[in-house]
Amino acid sequence: MKIVNILVLSLFTTFAFSQEIDDYTNRLKAINNQTITFYNVDGVDFSSQTFSNEFSEKGLKKLYRKYSIKDSDLKIKDENLTQNNIYITKSESITENINQISSYYFLENKDKTVSVFWFGYYNKLNKEFERKYINRILNHEIPSEVYESMTIDSIDFAGRKIKLGSNCNWTNINTVQCPYYGEMNWSVHKTIESAKNAINNQFTVTKSLKGGKVISEEEVDVIFEGTETKAKKVIYDFTGPKSLLVGMSGGKTLTIYYVACKVRENYLSCCMSFWNNDTLTENGLAPLLEKIMQLKK
């Protein structure tokens, strides 16, 4: 921000945010795995977990090891949080243009134990976002309806319930894998720019994975959740000897569709995939994918 008129701009920004109603509960999803809770909103994954360790040098050192925090990592206090805390941020270059950022907050609870918050995303650090959700979690502001059951029968897909049955599993927050029926991950965003950015980052990171290569890339016309839009269709060859994915799936090529578009009152980024040895419908998609998308003829 330019120094000129900074006071006026700051006052305007504060007023604008105070007038804005953040309907984040329509975009936020969470899974409570008894000991740790995972969250996803606006393309950001984060988690919270409480430990019995004391907030002391000895207690924190044990937690640092658990989270691969090194002695050389810079540890500071975030003065904008009311709780005593240690804050650490780490950045790793994934590609030439993408850095993976991890933020860690070690907070002292009222009983002197430690709660750990982790945030993971690409390129641009957003401490305001992190503080906002730390406070929402600590103040018990997250409503129960955003939590998904660990056992999948149906999922809330951006405001629409989709019945899947018992064959599918969560592999991450907002990530469903159905053996031989396909896999998909998604995030609900406030803006289309955020959704497109999330999809572009995911494509770039996947493209950079070792042990595979892109053998086909094209834009195709699809109907996604009732909306006509474009999808990036990519076929990866994972037949390299170092490919862990091939060993797990038995497949040789992976077809992935990347979509970012408006869905109901929000915007969605979605990545859908299936292996060449998965079950396909007569329309050429795995059954899981066909529940949300159709190929235009």
Residue 144 has pLDDT above 80, yes or no: yes
The distance from CA 262 to its chain's CA centroid, rounded to whole angstroms, is 18
- pLDDT value, residue 176: 94
Which SS3 state, helix, strand or coil, does residue 245 take? helix
- CA–CA separation, 106 vs 85, rounded Å? 5
Contacts of 88 (CB under 8 A, 6+ apart): 69, 73, 74, 75, 76, 103, 104, 106
Cβ burial, residue 191 (10 Å; 0-12/13-18/19+): exposed
Contacts of 43 (CB under 8 A, 6+ apart): 121, 187, 189, 194, 195, 197, 198, 269
pLDDT tens digits, 221-274: 999 999 999 999 999 987 654 444 544 556 789 999 999 999 998 999 999 999
Question: Which residue do the tokens 């994915």 mark?
Answer: 245
Half-sphere exposure at residue 180, Cβ-oriented, CA atoms within 13 angstroms: 4
Residue 54 has pLDDT above 80, yes or no: yes
Neighbours of 166 (CB within 10 A): 8
Residue 25 has pLDDT above 70, yes or no: yes
E strand or H helix at 117: strand 113-122
Residue 11 has pLDDT above 80, yes or no: no
- 15-29, 39-53, 157-171, 229-243, range with greatest mean pLDDT: 39-53
Average pLDDT over residues 31-44: 92
Contacts of 207 (CB under 8 A, 6+ apart): 214, 234
Report which of 47, 14, 50 is spatially closest to residue 35, judged by C-alpha positions.
Answer: 50
- Give the pLDDT band of residue 2 (cuts 50, 70, 90): very low
At 237, list the tokens. Answer: 């060859």
The distance from CA 204 to its chain's CA centroid, rounded to whole angstroms, is 15
Q: For the chain, where do the domains classified as CATH 3.40.1000 start and end? A: 22-146, 181-295
Given its phi and psi angles, is residue 75 left (phi above 0), alpha (psi -120 to 50 degrees) or beta?
beta
Question: Which residue do the tokens 């007569």 mark?
Answer: 282
At 97, list the tokens. Answer: 């243009």
- Give the pLDDT band of residue 97 (cuts 50, 70, 90): confident
CA distance readout (Å), 39 to 106, 133, 276: 17, 10, 31
Rounded percentage of the chain residues whose pLDDT exceeds 90 = 68
Residue type at 5 in one-letter notation: N
Cβ burial, residue 263 (10 Å; 0-12/13-18/19+): buried
- Give the pLDDT band of residue 153 (cuts 50, 70, 90): confident
Among 16-30, 171-185, 250-264, 275-289, the minimum mean pLDDT is found in: 16-30
Q: Which CATH number fits domain 22-146: 3.10.350, 3.40.50, 3.40.1000, 3.40.630?
A: 3.40.1000
Contact in structure between 36 and 46 (CB atoms under 8 Å): no
Contacts of 126 (CB under 8 A, 6+ apart): 44
Residue 276 has pLDDT above 60, yes or no: yes
Phi, psi of 182 (to 5 degrees): 110, 170
- pLDDT value, residue 247: 45
- pLDDT value, residue 89: 95
E strand or H helix at 220: strand 213-224
pLDDT tens digits, 168-224: 999 999 999 999 999 999 999 999 999 999 999 999 988 887 778 889 999 999 999
Neighbours of 109 (CB within 10 A): 14
Average pLDDT over residues 135-150: 92
- CATH code, residues 181-295: 3.40.1000
Phi, psi of 193 (to 5 degrees): -65, -40
Among 31-35, 102-106, 160-164, the minimum mean pLDDT is found in: 31-35
Cβ burial, residue 153 (10 Å; 0-12/13-18/19+): exposed
- pLDDT value, residue 275: 94
